[in-house]
Amino acid sequence: MAKAKPFIKWVGGKGQLIEQLEALLPADFSERENVTYIEPFVGGGAMLFYMLQTYPNIKSAVINDINPDLTLCYQVVRDNPTELIQSLNAIQSDYYALRTEEERKMYFLQQRERFNSKSLNEIDNTTLFFFLNRTCFNGLYRVNKSGKFNVPFGKYTTPTICDSATIYTDSKLLQKVDIMTGDFEQTFAKIEGNTFFYFDPPYRPLSNTSSFNDYTKEDFNDNAQIRLKLFCDRLNENGINFMLSNSDCLGKDGTDRFFDDLFIDYSIERVWASRNVNAIASKRGKLTEIVVNNYHNRYLF
């Protein structure tokens, strides 16, 4: 059987950090019974799929995202994998049949316009989400202030648009997942028994010209980061364990203490991650990211 993994590309995805994040889980996590696992910012779902495969003591999971096209993808993969695969195979065949880069670009722009029309049924909308994710530049998902997807063509000749094995495997795991769309705070109502939260919010930009939070037309600014911290306080007051990852402002130049000051009452650890989304090769490379939790002793980098 294929291994479950994200069915889409996602900037800031946690695939490369899974081992480091697992090492920072509560030491007794595998011994806890009937765990409810909650991700209020699911994104590509690398951590979700890893946790569901690795820990059978997770009896149920809840995922949420403010991006309705993304959460619709999860719903369709969970509930209609066969129909989705048929649709993806059809658009993949059409794309592969195009002979020139110009033809592929024109086809891409036509499908992007269809997607932005917001007039499609669930299968077609999800099919185009997959298609654009696999054929746009660098697999980015970015929208303008009007909520229109605006990433340019990626010049790929034969990208894998339909990965049937992954879709079927992910679909089986998603059967015990409740899928929500909206603000992260609504997930508080889903706490049940032994609950664990993992937060992977839109990253705070490391410079004035970089941004990792253009996934929706709404900004996830510093006020939103502070609101998330207050939500974590609420969990802590109720005895709920959480882990949160974000960009490391202190690691940028040693002067920006935004997160260190914001989460001063919690454990803050740092892990190494690669950033490969910058168009300028010299600005790519390894950077530290922070991991915050409320169950370890504070660790200073």
pLDDT tens per residue, range 64-119: 999 999 999 999 999 999 999 999 999 999 999 999 999 999 999 999 999 999 99
> What letter does residue 254 receive in the DSSP assignment?
S
Residue 202 in tokens: 């839109």
Given CA atoms 292, 258, 260, 224 in this order, what sign does their dihedral have? negative
Tell me the β-bridge partners of 179.
Answer: 63
What is the per-residue pLDDT across 132-141, written as a single tens digit (0 to 9) for each?
999 999 999 9
What the chain holds in terms of domains, given with CATH numbers, is 1-7+33-200 (1.10.1020.10)
Hey, is 204 helix, strand or coil?
coil
Flag the least confident range among 11-20, 60-69, 111-120, 150-159: 11-20
Instruction: Say which residues have a Cβ less than 8 Å from residue 4's Cβ, sequence separation at least 6.
Output: 49, 52, 53, 166, 169, 170, 172, 173
How many Å apart are CA 132 and CA 108, to the nearest integer?
A: 7
Distance separating alpha carbons of residues 72 and 75, to the nearest angstrom: 5
Residue 48's pLDDT is: 98
pLDDT at 86: 98
pLDDT of residue 213: 43
Which residues on adjacent β-strands are paired with residue 143?
149
Asked if residue 202 lies in contact with residue 183, where contact means CB atoms within 8 angstroms, the answer is: no
- Nearest one of 165, 6, 169, 160 to 93, comparing CA atoms: 160
How far apart (Å, rounded) are the C-alpha atoms in residues 105 and 228?
40
| pLDDT above 70 coverage of the chain, percent | 89
Residue 218's pLDDT is 64
Gap between the Cα atoms of 227 and 221, Å rounded: 10
Tokens representing 232? Answer: 């974590």
Q: Report d(CA 149, CA 142) in Å as an integer.
A: 6
Q: Which of 262, 244, 250, 243 is nearest to 206 (CA)?
A: 250
Q: What is the DSSP letter of 111?
A: H
Angle at which helix 164-173 crosses helix 46-54, to 10 degrees, equals 60
Tell me what the mean pLDDT of segment 210-217 comes to.
50
Structure tokens that stand for 172 in this block: 């089986």
Q: Contact, 137 vs 151, CB < 8 A? A: yes
Work out whether the CA dihedral 105, 120, 83, 65 comes out positive or negative.
positive
285 pLDDT higher than 80: no
Phi then psi for residue 78, to 5 deg, are -70, -45
Question: In this model, does residue 211 exceed pLDDT 50?
Answer: no
Residue 26 is encoded by which pair of tokens?
């509560």
Asked whether the beta carbons of 201 and 244 are under 8 A apart, the reply is: yes
User: How would you label 30-67 residue by residue, b for 16+ Cβ within 10 Å and e otherwise?
Assistant: eebeebbbbbbbbbbbbbbbbbbeebeebebbbbbbbb
